[in-house]
Copies of this chain bind each other. A is one copy, B any other.
Amino acid sequence: MGDLKELHQEVLDRATPSEDEEQRVMETVERVKSVVSRVGDEMDVEVAPRTVGSVARDTWTSGDRDIDIFMLLPKDLETEEFRKLGLELARKTAEEGDSYVEEFAEHPYITARFGEFDVDIVPCYNVDSYREVTSAVDRTPLHDDYLSERLDPELKDSVRLLKRFMKGIGVYGAEFKVGGFSGYLTELLALNYKSEEKGVSHPSFIESLEKTSRWRYGMEIDIEGHGSSGQFDGALVVVDPVDPNRNVAAALTKKRWAEYISACYTYLKNPSIRYFYPPEPTIHDTDTVKSIIRERDTNLVLIEFERPDVVDDTLYPQLRKTSRWLKSALEEEGFDVIRTDIEGESGVYVLVETQQKKLSSVEKHFGPPVTAKKHSESFLDKYLGEDIHSGPYIEGDRWVVERKKTRRNPEKIIMESLREPERAGVGKDLQDAEITIYKGIESVDIASEFLSRYLVGKPIWLKPKNN
C-alpha cells in the first residue's frame, strides 16, 4: 500500500494544476465573464455569466485547456428570442478573443480561443429544476450546483486520480469519437463510491475501482434514490441526481464500459503509472508492418475517404456505420471478417480484414426439408432449370444445391457496396467522398501508423509480461 500511496502522489503531482496554471485559467475565466457582462449591458440583456464544469468545481487536471462559460438567460425568453440574443452575446464575447468558430448542438454555441485556452461560450436558460430544462445545456449549471456542494478536497483528489486513470486508458470523454465517460459521470462515480476508510490511499478512488471491477452488465447507480433506473437500458445506468429522467451514462459504449472494468481489475492487481500516463504506443516501421501483414496471410483492405467538412462528432458515427455496413455486406457473401477499424485523425479510413482472400465458386445453399412437399417442389422446379454446380441433393433431411457464386472478391464487394445507388449503409457525408481502396501491403504506404496500431491491437494499459 506504501507503493500505491507513492504512485497516487506521483499522479496527483502531475495531474493537479500548479498555482501558476490555476492562475492563468482563473484570469481567463474572469476575463471572459467580464466581457459577457459588459456585452450584456451594452445589449441591455439580463445575463449571468458563469463558469461550469471541472474548472468551476476545481476538478480539472493539469494540461486541460477547455473552459466552459455559460451565459444564463431569463427563463421567460421565447425560444426564438433566446437563440437570437444568445448567439449575439456569444459572438460579441468571442470577438474579443483571438479567433472563434460557431458550433451546433441542440442550440448553437461558440468556441473561442482566448490565449492558450479554448472557451466554450454557451447560452442557456437560468432554471432552478430539471422540470424547466429545455435542452442539455440548461441542465449543466444544475450539475455544477449538485456536485459543488458535495465535493471536499479529498474527494477532489480522488476525482483527479479517476479522471487521469480514465484518460490514460482511453475511456474519458462522452463525445462520439471516444464514447466514454463524461466529466460529470466520472465525478458522480467518485461521489457514489465515496469512502473514508483509514489507511487506504485516496479511498474513494480505490473504492471506485474495486466496485467497478465487479460491475455486471446493466449495473444501476441511483445516488438520490429517484427509483427511475428501470426506464433505461445499457451496460451502465446512472440516474442523474438532478433529473430522474436522464441516464448520465447514455453515451457510454459497451466497449469503453468493458475496457474500464477490465482496467480496474488489472490495475488493482498490478498498479502502474502507465494507467494514468501511458507510454507512447509501439509503432512499427513500414517494413515490419508489411512483414506482419504477409505473415497473417489474410485479406486486408484499407478504404480511404476524402475528408468531408464535418466535425468529429459527425464523422466518427458515420465511419462506424460504414464499417459495420461493409462488415455485414462481406459476411452476407460468406466472408469471415476478423476485425474492422476506423480512423478519423491521420486520415479518414475504414479498415476491413477477412480470413479469405477470395471465396470459392461453390455456394452451398440449403433448401426446405424434404417433408415440406410444396416448398420442395418449388425448390426442385427452380434449381433443376438453373445453371448450378451440383445438386439438388439431400443432406440429412434437407434439399441442398451448390450454386455458382459470382461475388467472390472482397475488394469488389466493398467497392460495389460503397457505390450502390442507395448507399444505405454509408455515412451521409462519406457518400460522395472520393474513395481509394488499397489492398494488403499496398495500404502500408498510405497509413502505416494506423495499421501498426491495428495490428498490435492491444490496449496500451495491458502490460506485456516481460517488462
Instruction: Show the binding face of A for B, using Cβ within 8 Å.
Output: 213-217, 235, 254-255, 257-259, 261-262, 265-266, 269, 292, 295-299, 338-339, 353, 355-356, 358-362, 364, 370-371, 373, 376-377, 380-381, 384-385, 389-397, 399, 402, 408, 454-459, 462-466
Contacts of A292 in B (CB 8 A): 389
Q: Is the interface of A mostly helix, strand, loop or mixed?
A: mixed
Contact B298 A373 (CB under 8 A): no
Q: Which of B254, B257, B385 contacts A465 (CB 8 A)?
A: B385
Contact A338 B362 (CB under 8 A): yes
Contact B464 A397 (CB under 8 A): no
- A185 → B minimal CB distance (Å): 19
Contacts of A463 in B (CB 8 A): 384
Contact B258 A370 (CB under 8 A): yes
Q: Which of B296, B371, B377, B396 contacts A261 (CB 8 A)?
A: B371
Given A254-B397, A376-B265, is A296 in contact with B361 using a C-beta cutoff of 8 Å? yes
Q: A254-B397, A297-B408 are in contact. List 10 more A-B contacts (CB 8 A).
A: A215-B371, A255-B394, A257-B397, A259-B394, A262-B376, A297-B360, A299-B360, A339-B395, A355-B360, A355-B362
Contact A465 B296 (CB under 8 A): no
Given A462-B384, A464-B384, is A213 in contact with B262 using a C-beta cutoff of 8 Å? no
> Can you pick out 23 interface pairs between chain A and chain B where the beta carbons lie within 8 Å of each other?
A213-B373, A215-B371, A216-B371, A255-B396, A257-B397, A258-B370, A258-B397, A262-B370, A262-B399, A266-B380, A295-B361, A299-B360, A339-B402, A355-B360, A356-B360, A380-B462, A384-B463, A384-B465, A385-B464, A390-B456, A390-B457, A391-B457, A391-B458
Contacts of A396 in B (CB 8 A): 254-255, 258
Contacts of A465 in B (CB 8 A): 381, 384-385
Contacts of A261 in B (CB 8 A): 370-371
- A237 → B minimal CB distance (Å): 15
